[in-house]
Structure 1
Amino acid sequence: MSLLKNINKTSRQIAKSSEDYLNATKEYVELKTFQQISKVFILLFKSFIIGSLLLFGLILLIIESVFLLEEILGSIHYALLLSAGVLFLITALIYIFRKPLIEGRVIRMVSKTFFSTE
């Protein structure tokens, strides 16, 4: 009879340990998910604010460069064409080198935060 009691007691302990492990794992997954979602929203918010300010500064820089080119070239049309050409060239270069410049860095950054054990 003692053997059956020991088996029964051991089975209850195993069941309790398994339940505790499942609860701890569930809490860990919830916290890790919350951490990742928080980091994504923080990154999006910072990117929006910094990107907005950079865009505003870029627009002012382009307008000023058009006025400067108008004085140099003597024609607003040529100044606008040259500015547009430079912007298209920069855009094409960014598109051509998008994998090492953008995609690779984003993947490294996300994988670092996603797979960290903090």
Structure 2
Amino acid sequence: MNIFESLNETTSKITDAGQTYIEKSQEYYKLKIFQQLTVSISMVAKAIVIGGLLAIGLLFLAFSVALAIGEWLGHLALGYLIVAGVFILTTGILYWKRAFINKIIIKSLSPKFFDS
């Protein structure tokens, strides 16, 4: 009977160790998910705030440059057309290079999500 008691005791220790491992793994994954969510939400919030302020600044800058070019050329509409052309050209270049931009973003974000 001693062998059966020893086997039963060992089995119960293994079961307890397995249960503890499962509980600790669940706790770890909950913390990991929380960390990833907070990093993601904070990055999006910062991007919205900084991007919004930058967009407003660029909007006012574009209007002032368009007015200055229009006055310099003597025709206000030409100033607006030139600024609009620069924006369209920049947008086209960024669209053409979108795969390169994706690579840069993935390289910069991957350590935050996979190495921590």
TM-score by length of 1: 0.94
Higher relative contact order (CA 8 A, sep 6+): 1
TM-fit CA distance, 1:13: 0.2
Structure 2 residue matching 1:30: 3-state secondary structure: helix
Q: Give structure 1 stretches of 5+ with no counterpart.
A: none
Q: 1:108 corresponds to which letter in structure 2?
A: K
* Aligned residue in 2 for 1:4: 4
* Aligned residue in 2 for 1:81: 81
The answer (yes or no) to whether the contact 2:67–2:80 under 8 Å persists in 1 is: no
* Aligned residue in 2 for 1:104: 103
1-side partners of 2:41 and 2:63: how far apart? 33
Q: 1:6 corresponds to which letter in structure 2?
A: S
* Aligned residue in 1 for 2:38: 38
Q: 1:23 corresponds to which letter in structure 2?
A: E
Q: 1:13 corresponds to which letter in structure 2?
A: K
2-side partners of 1:106 and 1:6: how far apart? 57
Q: Give structure 2 stretches of 5+ with no counterpart.
A: none
- Aligned residue-pair number: 116
* Aligned residue in 1 for 2:14: 14
The answer (yes or no) to whether the contact 2:70–2:78 under 8 Å persists in 1 is: yes
Q: CA RMSD in A?
A: 0.9
> Percent identity among equivalent residues?
30
- Please list the CA deviations of residues 45-77 of structure 1 after superposition, one character each: whole Å capped at 9, or x if unmatched: 000110011001100110110111012111011
TM-fit CA distance, 1:93: 0.5
TM-fit CA distance, 1:113: 1.2
